[in-house]
Structure 1
Amino acid sequence: LETKTAPGVVTFEHGSLGSRYRIEATDDCGLTHVYQDVLLQDPAAIAGSIADRISVCDGDPVHIKAVKFPGATYSWTLPDGTHSHDQELSFVGTSDKAGKYTVDIQLNTCNATITGTYRVRIAHLSESAGTHTQRTCAGQSAVFAPADPVATVNGQPVDEDELEFQWQYTKTPTDANSWKPIFGATEKSVEYVAAYPGTYYLRRTTILGDCVAVGGLCTLTVDPGITVTMSAAERRVVIDHKNPFLLTAGLITGPAARTYVWQRSLDGKTWTDIGTDVSYTETQRLAPVVYYRRIIRSGTCETKGEPITVIFKRRYPAMVNPQLRQRVDQHW
């Protein structure tokens, strides 16, 4: 494209922006060849491409590196108004470091200044560190609702909609790889049902962008459940006499240490405590139909038995045939 001969520096006027050129320098003997590739760029176009958004978590290292130009000088303006003249800025991300970072790059090859802009977003996320314990029995639910996590971006609180929650569980909390997500447990609180006795450990993780915080340990102790099997004859009882009668409420399996409460109701809605034995002997007749049920408790476990419907048959007085009575009277 262009050839020049000179003992020192050579200036080429030929070139168009965006094109790449190769400059070849050769000594007078033609023995030494030096190559240099050159890309012609407009400083204004370069400045337009020097922009970035950086998001980090509170406490993470931050590195902002301006484009390197040989011999260029750099002048940074930080969010707090201070200045730096390094090509690269390095600091620990904290909320007071968030904001706009502007760098002016003074090129030494031409009379031009390139300006770049970097915006730094600092997210702070901390979970509730408190521990929680509950006790329940197999098949019954337990609710854990720790305090809300603290979440800010650039020092300002964020909406809860920006947070993601995921509850996890394990039986070996010291094994970091044993934690598994609980399917569907993506709210601030969790209602957990353990099907089998044992000790379960739960925790909540909160996510804000790339930041993850892990909450305190929730311990759930699950006792064996109580199972009651009732027969049809126990669920519906017909009484046609005036004597006291015995009510039973099924076969019980589960913990041996348990207590009982018998209840009675005239409408099946409002219940009154009437006994504390495994069975109940009734001596009263309060209505044509009366309902009974037995509640069994063992530790934190409680099982309400199915309602027992007791039907009292109406008893009529013995009737004497009038003609028979008349014959008897005449006989006397």
Structure 2
Amino acid sequence: MNTKNNFKSSNIQSLIKTALQKHNSGQLEAAISYYQQILTLKSDYPEVYACLADALEKRGKLEAAVEAYQQAVRLKPEYADAYCNLGSLLKKQGKLEAAVEAYQKALNIKPNFIRAYCNLGNVFKQQGKRKASVEVYQKALKIQPDLDIAKFFICMNQLPIIHTSFAEIELRRNNYQRHLQDLSQYYKQANLQELKKAADEVGASQPFYLAYQGLNDRDLQQIYGEMLVHLMSNSYPQWSQDILLPDLQPNEKIRIGLVSGYFYRHSVWKIPMKGWVENLDRSQFELFGYYTNNALKQDKETVL
């Protein structure tokens, strides 16, 4: 009996348990330290390298995180999850071709890997490869027919950024309308559980590029808006009741709220919102802003 090896194994398991506790509680520097201790005792531990990479990424140490993921897949070439996570990290760094390669390796290992399909589809979209992006999401949808994020993405991705002609605008617009109506009809017949699941994904892909066509979008936006109201009101009935607005008192200002994730130097801010903020008559209107972006972005436009 090798007592030394048994002690070493027991010590590693104890360190792993502590490292994961620190990691899960948000004590990332402590978790990193424990992972590094483990790897000095057992350097061929791909799962620990992957955990170390995740902690390093969350601490903003992206290059070190990439190296840790790369070490994990060197030690375990069939480690699909590590390849997928590496792809996401490379995408965050703007290394899109390398991210595509990592996602494709993950899918070669694990052909039904839904998360890798979705991430790959997003990278293709970011690269402007709209057709490839839709094809990837269609593959994901074949594997998981109730994949709401794929349904939304395929619908919204009928709208490219740039069109070559007015005839193409009409074609893309008709394709979008058809997909949107099918999607709206599908959710009208969905049960409550399906609606709640769809509500969690609805913001992942939106008809942002519809406005680029320069046409009257009212009818299309009405279909889209009514679909969202249906999803959200059924999923969150406690927040979907009509709010009774009190009558304005004499000399009381009308209150207007702007809800956006773009209160900074961005086309959404520069084109419509900045004009509203700067030109609404403050003697008649009281203005409120509600920022919805998870990341706080500040520049000269955020101070008026």
TM-score between both structures, scaled by the size of structure 2: 0.20
- Greater strand fraction, Structure 1 or Structure 2: 1
Higher relative contact order (CA 8 A, sep 6+): 1
TM-score between both structures, scaled by the size of structure 1: 0.19
Higher Cα radius of gyration: 1
- Greater helix fraction, Structure 1 or Structure 2: 2
